[in-house]
Amino acid sequence: MSGRIISLVVVGILTLGTPGLAAQKGNLQQGKVLYVEYCLQCHGGRGEGWGWSNKIPPPPVPVPDLSDPELMKELSDQYLFDIIKGGGEAVGKTRLMPPAGRVISDEEIWDVVAYLRSLIRSVQGPNNK
């Protein structure tokens, strides 16, 4: 009986999990540490966007709300990987979104992608209080 439940769960994960497969291979906890170090200053503690408490002026382009489910469902894991690794210019945006590829590894970038997925409102994660 319990074996059957386990295989049902496994099948469920395999079917439902497919769209998020790339993000799933990332390590969420590691991604959080990296996010705090490399992204938070511009994207906010919960991905909500600009929130500096210091006096530095915000960038001249809007900082997107990475916790917005409508926005994030349009962005594939590969797109997220590419913009984190190569910066805005790698995906046709501005260089105001800086590349992280020189300071963190590809594996770490997938960790950040996984963490970004956890920031989406209404999805299980830090925002889901």
Q: Report if residue 84 touches ligand HEC, rule: CB under 6 A.
A: yes
* Residue among 59, 69, 107, 128 that touches ligand HEC (CB under 6 A): 59
- With CA atoms as reference, report the closest residue to 97 among 66, 55, 54, 53: 66
Spatial contact of 68 and 49, defined as CB atoms under 8 Å apart: no
Size (the chain), residues: 129
For the chain, what is the largest distance between any 2 Cα atoms, rounded to a whole number of angstroms? 61
* Residue among 23, 97, 114, 119 that touches ligand HEC (CB under 6 A): 97
Q: Is the dihedral of CA 55, 61, 67, 68 positive or negative?
A: positive
Contact map string, positions 104 to 123, toward ligand HEC, x by CB under 6 A: --------x---x-------
Helix (H) or strand (E) run with residue 21 in it: helix 21-24
Q: Report if residue 33 touches ligand HEC, rule: CB under 6 A.
A: no
Residues 6+ apart with CB under 8 A from 106: 81, 85
* Residue among 7, 13, 25, 41 that touches ligand HEC (CB under 6 A): 41
* Residue among 11, 21, 36, 61 that touches ligand HEC (CB under 6 A): 61
Q: Report if residue 93 touches ligand HEC, rule: CB under 6 A.
A: yes
Residues in contact with ligand HEC by the rule CB under 6 A: 38-39, 41-43, 59, 61, 63-64, 66, 71, 75, 80, 83-84, 88, 93-94, 96-98, 100, 112, 116
